[in-house]
């Protein structure tokens, strides 16, 4: 499989994924994985998440922005690993942009809830897995628009 | 939910999981996630994986043993994060112990294949997720035998 096909397959995988794994550097430098809902992606360049400002992962990313996101389809044995950096966004424009109806369950005060934050993950590198194949690529080789 | 119930639910989740996420510290300190087949677990204390000696993750763990494993059931919204250290095992006893029929596809030379290695993950801490609940525990509070 060539790099362009891997990138195309990776984009398709991201489109159909509902759940994403997110790893932070964690405390004491131990990596830490948790499942997150995918709220929005821009090509493979940016992955957006919402989270509680009080959550442990916010503390992790403010201390060390290095992160990894992983998309998987266990039916087709495909996986996509992206490594990059997370920025914690608390400005009202970003919070409004990604507000989803029903978020009131998590953030009762709505878009202005101080416990509502957005994580902006910016990719640097990607690795597409299919069965025993692994194809690595630089995010610069991925088109910005799908 | 109390800690003992969380541990019990975590053990059940591990029992039915076929795929496990494994994070290493990665290159340049960036965390790195990949999906692995679960070959064997001892309670929540030890998680065993097989891998190619030539794989990137072996390089990562020889440099930095800190790791995280994550079990998920997307049907029930349960997750279990374990943090701990990985030891790379290349002794013949361990390799024999975890050899599975069919591994010849990955390691054509059989149990003596120099590209066949075992990863022994030893837990320190756990976190059980169910919906919005998160229960943390020390691995010392988990019974050694199920």
Tens-place pLDDT, residues B29-67: 899 999 999 999 999 999 999 999 999 999 999 999 999
- Asked if residue A66 is part of any domain, the answer here is yes
Q: Please name the residue of chain B whose CA is at the shortest distance from the CA of residue A24.
A: B31
| Band of residue A132 on the pLDDT scale cut at 50, 70, 90 | confident
Shortest Cα–Cα distance, B132 to chain A (Å): 9
- Asked if residue B146 is part of any domain, the answer here is no
Measuring CA to CA, which residue among A45, A25, A35, A126 is closest to residue A79? A126
pLDDT tens, residue by residue, A39-71: 999 999 999 999 999 999 999 999 999 999 999
- Per-residue confidence (pLDDT) for residue A138, from 0 to 100: 97
Chain A positions touching B67 (Cβ under 8 A) are 30-31
For residue B146, is pLDDT > 70?
no
Shortest Cα–Cα distance, B66 to chain A (Å): 5
- Asked if residue A146 is part of any domain, the answer here is no
Q: Please name the residue of chain B whose CA is at the shortest distance from the CA of residue A82.
A: B32
Q: How far from the centroid of its chain's Cα atoms is residue B110's Cα?
A: 23
The verdict on a CB contact (< 8 Å) between B31 and A21 is no
- Per-residue confidence (pLDDT) for residue B27, from 0 to 100: 73
Give me the residue from B23, B66, B84 closest to A68, CB to CB: B23
Mean pLDDT of chain B: 94
For residue B75, is pLDDT > 70?
yes
For residue B90, is pLDDT > 90?
yes
- Per-residue confidence (pLDDT) for residue B34, from 0 to 100: 95
- Per-residue confidence (pLDDT) for residue A74, from 0 to 100: 85
How many separate domains does chain B show?
1
- Per-residue confidence (pLDDT) for residue A145, from 0 to 100: 73
Contact (Cβ atoms closer than 8 angstroms) between residue B60 and residue A25: no
CB neighbour list of residue B101: distance below 8 Å, 6 or more residues apart: none
- Per-residue confidence (pLDDT) for residue B145, from 0 to 100: 74
Q: A25-51 burial string, b = 16+ CB within 10 Å, else e?
A: bbeeebbbbbbbebbebebbbbbbbbb
For residue B119, is pLDDT > 90?
yes
Instruction: Compute how many other C-beta atoms are within 10 angstroms of the C-beta atom of residue B25.
Output: 24
Residue with tokens 């405390």: A27
Chain A positions touching B26 (Cβ under 8 A) are 31, 68, 83
Residue B85: domain span: 3-141
Q: Give the helix/strand (H/E) hosting A61.
A: helix A56-63
What ipTM does this complex have? 0.92
- Asked if residue A121 is part of any domain, the answer here is yes
Residues 37-76 of chain A whose Cβ lies under 8 A from any Cβ of chain B = 64, 66-70, 72, 74
Q: With pLDDT > 90 as the criterion, what percentage of chain A qualifies?
A: 86
Q: How far apart are CA A130 and CA A110, in angstroms?
A: 41
- Asked if residue B104 is part of any domain, the answer here is yes
The domain that holds A56 is classified in CATH as 2.30.110.10
């Amino acid at each position: 499989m060539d790099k362009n096909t891997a990138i195309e397959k990776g984009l398709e995988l991201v489109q159909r994924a509902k759940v994403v794994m997110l790893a932070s550097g964690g405390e004491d430098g131990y990596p830490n994985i948790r499942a997150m809902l995918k709220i929005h992606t821009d090509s493979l360049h940016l992955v957006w998440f919402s989270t509680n400002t009080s959550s442990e992962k916010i503390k992790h990313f403010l201390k060390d922005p290095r992160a990894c996101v992983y998309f998987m389809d266990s039916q087709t044995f495909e996986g996509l690993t992206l490594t990059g950096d997370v920025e914690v966004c608390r400005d009202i424009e970003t919070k409004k942009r990604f507000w989803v109806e029903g978020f009131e369950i998590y953030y009762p005060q709505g878009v202005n809830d101080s416990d509502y934050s957005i994580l902006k993950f910016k990719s640097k590198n990607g690795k597409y897995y299919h069965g025993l194949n692994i194809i690595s690529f630089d995010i610069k080789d991925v088109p910005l628009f799908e």
